[in-house]
Amino acid sequence: MCSIHTVIPHPLFCCCYETLNGKCLALRTNITSFSKAMSENGALPLRGKVLTLDTMNANVKKVDYAVRGPIVQRAVQIEKELKEGVKKPFEEVIKANIGDAHAMGQRPITFFRQVMALCTYPQLLDDNKFPEDAKNRARRILQSCGGNSIGAYTTSQGIDCVRHDVANYIQRRDGGIPSDPDNIYLTTGASDGIVTILKLLTTGEGRTRTGVMISIPQYPLYSASIAELGAVQINYYLNEEKCWSLDISELQRSLQAAREHCNPCVLCIINPGNPTGQVQSRQCIEDVIRFAAKENLFLMADEVYQDNVYAEGCAFHSFKKVLFEMGPEYSSKVELASFHSTSKCYMGECGFRGGYMEVMNMDPEVKAQLTKLVSVRLCPPAPGQALMDLVVNSPQPGEPSYQTFMKERTAVLSALAEKAKLTEEILNTVPGISCNPVQGAMYSFPRITLPERSINEAKAKGQAPDMFYCMKLLEETGICLVPGSGFGQREGTYHFRMTILPPTDKLKIMLNKLKEFHQKFTQQYS
């Protein structure tokens, strides 16, 4: 090649080097002609991919998220086929897999969208079709934004006035127990807050690796995050016979077993539950708090369905409230993070990715680390923050928008309550299906009895038996549900999770189709 001695010899870079003052001046051939020359000579360098299944982050491979997993991908494919005119035994796919209310026809709350529009396009503040209470809230939010624009970054913890409003809401909700705005962090949906807290907590190696206690069944964000962070998943089983209630003895058992191989330091609860819908009793929440205090566990309370309580005799008790009512011995000690979201309840504003977490009794130095960590992503979406403000600062009696707001809110929640009851009733008339009361949240999680033959066929295919069932259901009826294996369940039991979100008439049709399918399936594989 080149006769001039080089500082950094590299055969492919250049034909000829010169050095000047020790710095290499590469005189190289034109890159494109080099490439062309290579191809022409047939001397194509073999270039494998940098990023393959073998070289990628192994933890990512372990992640599963059934709610948008393989069955949903198939459902989307079928939808495309229907659009292209392919004939199926049904006309439409019913996506009862995900807690997305608007997608199933639920309407947004008018007042919320008015304020959001005013924040987005403040010229509308001059439009007399917008009520004054909406305008006041929009002005207040905008005043708290940089340059009075929701296009500015907010502080990483979230817009100040929104955090104050969230704190006030929590205080009102919890019968006056004080809430400090400084403990409030706005988040990009509740998922964001949950993952952030888990990041802080995950540490150690081998036997000292952080163990995270999660309910079985659970919302698979938890198992997915645990897998990605390389933490240790610790399962505690909810009691299906007792309406999915939480058993302290089961918590104890699971903790003890886990201590053999990891360092359990966090306990996650979803109340009201997902996928089970159970609303924990106050006594149960107290017992859990006592357990967490005794065993030095950081408590994570996922309360995104706090307004979705339907069953008589059930009521939502926030972990924070119960904690404080247990007295200073607990309220000043137990580390608790509680999560809320704009995606559920009566708002159903999933797409805005609004959420918050309230963090109690966090070590101040760790809190500073938390604030630092969230600062790297700058801030949660400002529209989602604005929306959360409206949720916690909704129209009050006497305000112009109050009546319409209450009407809409009540309509949504009562429809959900009806559908919860309807779902439970119809499913329980199906031989081989047993459905616990849907006390809250947005799902039913019925137990299904599967014929032995179907279980064997599934296993032969390398499929979970309830996945096999759900796939068949999808192909034959167009109904998309998520198999219980995606959430976790006791060995040898099978379930599916179905939302109660489709409009009542569609829901009835869906449930009856399900009934027919189950009977047919049972017969087919008997």
Partner 1 sequence: SLSAKVSAGRLNGKMREKTLTMDTLNPQVKAVEYAVRGPIVIKAGEIEKYLEEGGTKPFSEVIKANIGDAHAMGQQPITFLRQVVALCTFPELMDSPSFPEDAKWRARRILQGCGGHSLGSYSASPGVECIRKDIAAYIEQRDEGVPSDWENIYLTTGASDGIMTILRLLVSGKDSSRTGVMIPIPQYPLYSAAISEMDAVQVNYYLDEDNCWALDINELYRAYQAAKLHCQPKVICIINPGNPTGQVQSKKCIEEVLHFAYEENLFVMSDEVYQDNVYTPDCQFHSFKKVLYEMGPEYFNSVELASFHSTSKGYTGECGFRGGYMEVINMDPEVKAQLVKLLSVRLCPPLAGQAAMDVIVNPPQPDEHSYKQFHQEKSSVLGALADKAKLTEQILNAVPGIKCNPVQGAMYAFPRIFIPPKAVEEAKALGMQPDMFYCLRLLEETGICVVPGSGFGQKDGTYHFRMTILPSIEKLKVLLGKVRDFHISFLKEYSALE
The residues in 265-304 that bind partner 1, with binding defined as CB under 8 A, are 265-266, 296-298
* Closest distance of CB 336 from partner 1, Å: 11
Determine if 114 is a binding residue for partner 1 (CB under 8 A): yes
* Closest distance of CB 440 from partner 1, Å: 21
User: Which residue in the set 74, 113, 472, 508 belongs to the binding site for partner 1 (CB under 8 A)?
Assistant: 113
Give residue 458's identity as a one-letter amino acid code. A
Determine if 81 is a binding residue for partner 1 (CB under 8 A): no
User: Which residue in the set 2, 27, 132, 149 belongs to the binding site for partner 1 (CB under 8 A)?
Assistant: 149
User: Which residue in the set 71, 93, 96, 104 belongs to the binding site for partner 1 (CB under 8 A)?
Assistant: 104
User: Which residue in the set 141, 166, 224, 473 belongs to the binding site for partner 1 (CB under 8 A)?
Assistant: 224
| Phi, psi of 25, rounded to the nearest 5 degrees | -105, 100
Tell me 108's DSSP state.
P
Give residue 86's identity as a one-letter amino acid code. V
* Closest distance of CB 60 from partner 1, Å: 6
Angle at Cα 450 formed by Cα 445 and Cα 452, nearest 5°?
A: 155
Contacts of 75 (CB under 8 A, 6+ apart): 93, 95, 97, 474, 480
Determine if 147 is a binding residue for partner 1 (CB under 8 A): yes
Determine if 363 is a binding residue for partner 1 (CB under 8 A): yes
- Asked if 280 contacts 245 with a C-beta cutoff of 8 angstroms, the reply is yes
Identity of the residue, 120 or 171, whose beta carbon is nearer to partner 1 in the bound complex: 120
| Phi, psi of 509, rounded to the nearest 5 degrees | -60, -45
User: Which residue in the set 88, 102, 259, 513 belongs to the binding site for partner 1 (CB under 8 A)?
Assistant: 102
Identity of the residue, 31 or 460, whose beta carbon is nearer to partner 1 in the bound complex: 31
Please count the residues of this chain forming the interface with partner 1, following the rule CB under 8 A: 114
Identity of the residue, 202 or 454, whose beta carbon is nearer to partner 1 in the bound complex: 202
Distance CA 321, CA 362 (A): 17
* Closest distance of CB 381 from partner 1, Å: 4
Binding mask 28-57 for partner 1 (x = CB under 8 A): ---xx--xx-xx----xx-xxxxxxx-xxx
Determine if 415 is a binding residue for partner 1 (CB under 8 A): no
Determine if 125 is a binding residue for partner 1 (CB under 8 A): no
User: Which residue in the set 383, 465, 478, 502 belongs to the binding site for partner 1 (CB under 8 A)?
Assistant: 383
Identity of the residue, 282 or 377, whose beta carbon is nearer to partner 1 in the bound complex: 377
Tokens of 203: 């540490």
Identity of the residue, 70 or 451, whose beta carbon is nearer to partner 1 in the bound complex: 70
Distance CA 173, CA 358 (A): 14
- Asked if 169 contacts 183 with a C-beta cutoff of 8 angstroms, the reply is no
Residues paired with residue 235 on neighbouring β-strands, in sequence order:
214
The footprint of partner 1 on residues 320-359 (CB under 8 A) is 328-329, 332-333, 335, 347-353
Distance CA 355, CA 138 (A): 19
Identity of the residue, 26 or 243, whose beta carbon is nearer to partner 1 in the bound complex: 26
Distance CA 384, CA 390 (A): 10
User: Which residue in the set 377, 407, 459, 520 belongs to the binding site for partner 1 (CB under 8 A)?
Assistant: 377
Determine if 18 is a binding residue for partner 1 (CB under 8 A): no
Determine if 145 is a binding residue for partner 1 (CB under 8 A): yes
Identity of the residue, 103 or 216, whose beta carbon is nearer to partner 1 in the bound complex: 103
Tell me 106's DSSP state.
P
**DSSP conformation letters of 380-443:** --HHHHHHHHHHHTPPPTTSTTHHHHHHHHHHHHHHHHHHHHHHHHHHHTSTTEE-----BTTE
Identity of the residue, 348 or 437, whose beta carbon is nearer to partner 1 in the bound complex: 348
Distance CA 33, CA 55 (A): 32
- Asked if 17 contacts 24 with a C-beta cutoff of 8 angstroms, the reply is yes
Pairing of strands 232-237, 210-216: parallel
